[in-house]
Amino acid sequence: MALDCKEMLGNSLILMGDIGANDYYYLFSKDLIDLGGKTFVVPGSFPYGCFPAYLTLFQTSKEEEYDPLTGCLSWLNEFGNNHDELLKTELKRLRKLYPHVNIIYADYYNSMYRFFQEPAKYGFKERPLGACCGIGGQYNFTIGKECGYQGVGYCENPSEYVNWDGYHLTEATHQKMAHGLLNGPYATPAFDWFCLGSASVDTESHFTS
């Protein structure tokens, strides 16, 4: 039974969660690698400064705190970028410790941030900072009256929105991010589909539809 589990993990793509660098280290060294895991995807942070919940919570009249191009909170996005730089440094160290393991960094930040920089290019609303499901305020989000509460409605076409409810992304956003990660250029090292064999792999239909 243990051998079956090790073989299954060895043939699996293991996605780690939104956790800190120390947590990644302990998970790799104490459990999953020893159990036979060979391929890991470790995501970085999201551009939380573009989420309706945080834009509402930290809303300010100080224009200098916002990115003039996207309207996102610059300082909160910088916080995420700092986390990602530290994480990438830690992953480089882990790759040296475990050269037989494939550790892929998934750049969630940039794979999503482009939607706010050029929303029309990706099929989103011109100013895509509001939530699809929500009510009130500049970002269609009110703390204590989130999506699911009585009287809170949702948009007619969620695919035009990056954010679903202020905290979570729409299916359209997940699809486009997945395509950017699986087909490039937001994964380091890039996914090697050649290793899947001679059969053609259509990542557009398998992962983004």
Residue 64 has a pLDDT of 96
Within the chain, residue ranges assigned H as helices are: 2-10, 21-27, 52-57, 74-97, 108-117, 171-182, 203-207
Average model confidence (pLDDT) for the chain? 85
Task: State how far the Cα of 209 lies from the Cα of 194, in Å rounded to an integer.
Answer: 22
Per-residue pLDDT reduced to its tens digit, 134-182:
999 999 999 999 999 999 999 999 999 999 999 999 999 999 999 999 9
Share above pLDDT 90 across residues of the chain, in percent, rounded to a whole number: 67
Place of tokens 């293991």: 14
Per-residue pLDDT reduced to its tens digit, 172-207:
999 999 999 999 899 999 987 655 443 334 444 434
DSSP character string of 107-151: -HHHHHHHHHHSGGGGT--SSTTSBSB--STTTT--TTS-TTSTT
Q: Using the 8-state DSSP alphabet, how is residue 37 labeled?
A: -
Domain borders along the chain are 2-207
Residue 204 has a pLDDT of 42
Q: Are 73 and 113 in contact (CB under 8 A)?
A: no
Place of tokens 């999506």: 147
Of residues 105 and 27, more confidently modeled: 105
The number of residues in the chain equals 209
Both tokens of 51, joined, read 């989420």
Q: Are 45 and 80 in contact (CB under 8 A)?
A: yes
Per-residue pLDDT reduced to its tens digit, 20-65:
545 555 555 567 777 888 888 889 999 999 999 999 999 999 999 9
Please state the separation of Cα 88 from the chain's center in Å: 15
pLDDT at 18 exceeding the cut of 70? no
Query: What pTM was computed for the model?
Result: 0.79
Peptide bond into 189 cis (omega under 30): yes
Q: Using the 8-state DSSP alphabet, how is residue 163 labeled?
A: B
